[in-house]
Amino acid sequence: MEAKNNDKPTENTNDTTTTDTITLGAGCFWCVEAIFDQLKGVEKVISGYAGGNIKNPSYKEVCTGRTGHAEVCQVIYNPEIITTEELLEVFWQTHDPTTLNKQGGDVGTQYRSAIFYHNDTQKQIAEAYKQQLDSSDTFSNPIVTEITAFTNFYPAEDYHQDYFELNGEQPYCSAIIKPKVEKFKKNFKDKIKP
């Protein structure tokens, strides 16, 4: 039986001014979490679902592609240590933002490239960064990343949290996530937690 989450979505309710939150979709949330969890200034990464049209979806429901949700990670970070721009630099460089509803072998709307911004500053930064990348021909195809206002977030089931850390020897982790993490570490070694 598929585990269900509680009925309340998680909202951007940080009580301090030292953290901010952004929600990012870049394919399988296991890959996204494995990368962003290692960044200096990132305090917490939670795998889950955003952008859909039903409350409290299960993984099984999201995988059908019929709920409208994307697999995402909610990234809680200290902007005094890592900026939104730096997070987006990692985001753009660790997945293919030019493929619609697809990352590698993962296909479906739940694997779309998406930025769910939590405030107008994040929106402006994301849109300007996307425009700059498109103008510079950094990618051979246009960027299709969805940039949308955050409305709600449903944490994924417990077995999805810290998946790579806890299941690094599983075939998907070894074949897909580990090479992405190694490339990330090579390209962003100055931004990795000690």
- Catalytic center residues: 28
Residues 6 or more apart whose Cβ sits within 8 Å of residue 87: 22, 24, 36, 39, 42, 75, 77
| Rg value, the chain, Cα | 16
- The span from the CA of 141 to the CA of 122, in Å, is 24
Longest distance between any two alpha carbons in the chain, whole Å: 48
Q: What backbone phi and psi angles, to 5 degrees, belong to 188?
A: -130, 35
Q: Where are the alpha helices (DSSP H) in 5-119?
A: 29-36, 59-63, 84-93
- The span from the CA of 103 to the CA of 113, in Å, is 8
Q: How far is CA 53 from CA 25, 58, 91, 134, 148, in A?
A: 16, 13, 25, 30, 14
Residues in the chain: 194
